[in-house]
Structure 1
Amino acid sequence: MAATQVVRSEWTKIRSVASTVWTLSLAVVVTIALGMLISGLSAHEFDNMSERDRLSFDPTFISFAGMSLGQLALIVFGVLVVSNEYSTGMIRTSLAAVPKRGTFLASKVAVATGLALVVGVATSFVTFFLGQAMLGDHRAEIGDPGVLRAVLGGGLYMALIAMFSMGVAAMLRSPMLSLGILMPFFFLVSNILGNVSATEKIGRYLPDQAGSRIMQVVTPIDDDKPYGPWGGLGIMVLWVVAALLGGYLTLKKRDA
C-alpha cells in the first residue's frame, strides 16, 4: 500500500472513532475554561501579591494554567490512537494491509500529530486572548517580546504530549496500562519531583517540566534552570524521540 493511502487510512480511522474526537474536544474546553478562571482570579488577587510575586508575574503563562489538565486529554487521545487497534484486534488486519511496520507507525503518528498540532495551536491562541481579557490591566499583548513564541509554543507542547503518549502506547500496547502509567506520571509524579527540593534537579528534565518552559515569558526570580524556552522544548523533543523509537522497536520485534 502506498504511503499516501496509508495516511488516508489512518485519517479515516481517527475521525471515525468518537472517543478520539471527544478527547480532543475535552482538551480544548478544559484548557480554555481553566485558563480563563485562573486568569480572572489572578487579576483579582494582583493587588494583594507580594513585591516578589509581582516581579515574577507572567500574564502569558497564567493564561495557560489550564494546560496542566488539558494535556491529560491529549494523553488519552495519543494512547487511544495507537492502542485502540490492539484492544479490538484490528491491529492484525492493519499490519496485514501495511506489512512495513515503520510506515504503519509513522503514518499513524504523523496524522494524529498533525491533528493535535492544529487543535493545540488554535487552542493556545484562544486561551491566550481570552485569558488576557480576564487579566484586564495586567494583560500582555501578542506583540510583546516573547509572547508570540510562548503562544505558538503552547500548541507545540500539546502536540508533543500527544506524540510522547503515542510512543508509550506503542511500547505497552494496552490502553489501560498506558493510561495507568502516563496519567499518574504527568499529574502526580512529575509535579512532586519538580517541586520537592531533594528531587527538583531531576524533575526539571522531565518532558512536561522542561517543555512547559516554552510557554513562559517572565522568568521567576528563583528560577535556576540551566536551559531557556527552546532548550526546554528540545529536552521534551528528545523524550518524544526516545518514546517513538521504543514504540517502533517494540512494534517491529513483537507479533501483533
Structure 2
Amino acid sequence: MAATQVVRSEWTKIRSVASTVWTLSLAAVVTVALGVLISLLSKNEFDDMSTKDQLSFDPTFISFAGMSLGQLAMIVFGVLVVSNEYSTGMIRTSLAAVPQRGTFLFSKIAVATGLAFLVALATSFVAFFLGQAMLGSHRASIGDPGVLRAVIGGGLYMTLIALFSMGVATMLRSPMLSLGILMPFFFLISAILGNVDATKKVGQYLPDQAGSKIMQVVTPIDDDVPYGPWGGLGIMVLWVAVALAGGYVLLKKRDA
C-alpha cells in the first residue's frame, strides 16, 4: 500500500473514533478555561504579592496555567491513537494491510501529530489572548520580546506531550498500562522531583519541566535552571525521540 493511502487510512481511523476527537476538544477547553480563571485570580492578587513575586510575574506564562490539566487530555489522545487498535484487535488487520511497520507507524504518528499541533497551536493563541484580557494593566502584548516564541512554544509543548504518549503507548500497547504509567509520571513523580530540594536537579530534566521552559518570558529571580527556553524544548524533543524510537524497535521485533 502506498504511503499516501496509509496516511489517508490513518486519518479516517482517527476521525471516526469519537474518543480521540473528544479528548482533543477537552484539551482545548480545559486549557483555555483554567488559564482564563487563573489569569483573573492573578490580576486580583497582584497587589498583595511580595516584591519578589511581582518582579518574577510572567503574564504570558500565567495564561498557560491551564496546560497543566490540558496536557492530561493530550496524553489520553496520544495513548488512544495508538492503543485503540490493540485493545480492539484491529492491529492484526492493519499490519496485514500495511506489512511495512515503519510506514504504518510513521503514517499514524504523522497524522495524529499534525492534528494535535493544529489544535494545540490554536489553543495556545486563544489561551494567551483571553488570559491577557483578564490581566488588565498587567497584561503582555504579542509583540513584546519573547512572547510570540512562548505562544508558539505552548502549541509545540502540547504536541510533544501527545507525541511522547504515542511513543510510550506503542511500546506498552495497552491503554490502561500506558495511562497508568504516564499519569503518575507527569502528575506525581515530576511534581515531587521538581519540588524537593534534593531532587530538583533531576526533576528539571524531565520532559514536562524542561519543555515548559519554552513558554516562559520572564525568568524568575531565583531561577538556577542551566538551560533556556530552546534548550528546555530540546531536552523534551530528546525524550520524545527516545520514546518513539523505542516504540518503533518493539513494533518491528514482536508479533501483533
TM-score scaled by structure 1? 1.00
Q: Quick one: distance in 1 between partners of 2:37 and 2:185?
A: 25
Three-state SS of the structure 2 residue aligned to 1:199 is: helix
**Structure 1 position 105, deviation (Å):** 0.4
* Aligned partner letter, 1:187: F
* Aligned partner letter, 1:15: R
Residue 196 (structure 2) pairs with residue 196 (structure 1)? yes
Q: Quick one: distance in 2 between partners of 1:70 and 1:121?
A: 13
Deviations 1:72-113 (A, max 9, x none): 000000000000000000000000000000010000000000
Q: Quick one: distance in 1 between partners of 2:89 and 2:163?
A: 22
Deviations 1:116-172 (A, max 9, x none): 000000000000000000000000000000000000000000110000000000000
User: What fraction of aligned residue pairs are identical, expressed as a percent?
Assistant: 85
Counterpart for residue 112 of structure 2: 112
Equivalent residue runs for 1:147-162 within 5 Å: 147-162=147-162
Counterpart for residue 91 of structure 2: 91
* Aligned partner letter, 2:129: F
TM-score scaled by structure 2? 1.00
Q: CA RMSD in A?
A: 0.3
Q: How many residues of Structure 1 are paired with residues of Structure 2 in the alignment?
A: 256
Counterpart for residue 207 of structure 2: 207
Counterpart for residue 102 of structure 2: 102
Counterpart for residue 243 of structure 1: 243
* Aligned partner letter, 1:75: I
* Aligned partner letter, 2:152: L
* Aligned partner letter, 2:68: S
Q: Which structure 1 residue ranges, 5 or more long, are not aligned?
A: none
Counterpart for residue 39 of structure 1: 39
Equivalent residue runs for 1:18-167 within 5 Å: 18-167=18-167
Deviations 1:13-33 (A, max 9, x none): 000000000000000000000
Q: Quick one: distance in 1 between partners of 2:76 and 2:250?
A: 20
Counterpart for residue 230 of structure 2: 230
